[in-house]
Amino acid sequence: MALKIEPIGEVVEGRAEVADDYWGGVESVIQLDDSEFPLDSVLGLEEFSHLVVVWHFDQASPSDVEYHARSPRGNAQWPATGTFAHRNHRRPNQLAQSFPRLIKVDGLRLHVTDLDAVVGTKIYDLSPYFEEMGPRGTIREPAWPGEMLTDYWAEKS
C-alpha cells in the first residue's frame, strides 16, 4: 500500500537557487499551512534550538532517480556507492531531512537557518530535535562525505 501524504507547509523565504554548496548563513522561513493548522500547533516549539524537517526535492525531476552505484557528485576520486549510501535527490522518493536551527516562531512562520531547501520546497513534516533521539554510540563514516561537504555549510562569498 502506498503512503499518501500532503505538505504541511512550504519554504517561502531563503535561498532561491539549487546548489551543492555554500548553504552557511542562509536564513529561511517555513510557512505552515494556516488553513490546516491553528496557531497553537506550534506552542512550545520556540523552546527548542533545532528542528527535524522532512521535505521533498520537488524541484528535481523523477527521471534523475538512479538506483545503480555511482561516485558522489560524479567525482571518480570518491568510490562508487549505492543509492542508499547517498543523501541527494537521486533517491527513490526524493525525500530529504534537514536539521535547521530555529531562530524564532512568528505565528505559523518558522524562521530557521541551515535549512538546505530552496524557496518553493514543500515541507512534509517537522518536529523538534531531541538530543536523546539522535545517534547513539560512535559515529562511523568513510572519508569521502567529509571531503565532499567541505564547503557545504560555508557562507557564499
Q: What is the pLDDT of residues 54-103, one digit of tens each?
A: 999 888 878 888 888 888 788 889 888 888 888 888 888 889 999 999 99
How would you write the chain as a 3-class SS string?
CCCCCCCCEEEEECCCCCCCCCCECCEEEEEECCCCCCHHHHCCHHHCCEEEEEEECCCCCHHHCCCCCECHHHCCCCCCECHHHCCCCCCCCCEEEECCEEEEEECCEEEEECCCCCCCCEEEEEEECCHHHCCCCCCCCCCHHHHHCCCCCCECC
pTM of this prediction?
A: 0.89
Q: What is the pLDDT of residue 19?
A: 80
Residue 15 DSSP SS3 = coil
Q: How far apart are CA 50 and CA 128, in angstroms?
A: 6
* Domains with residue ranges and CATH for the chain: 9-148 (2.40.30.70)
Task: Give the integer Cα–Cα distance in Å for 71 and 60.
Answer: 19
What pLDDT sits at residue 67? 85
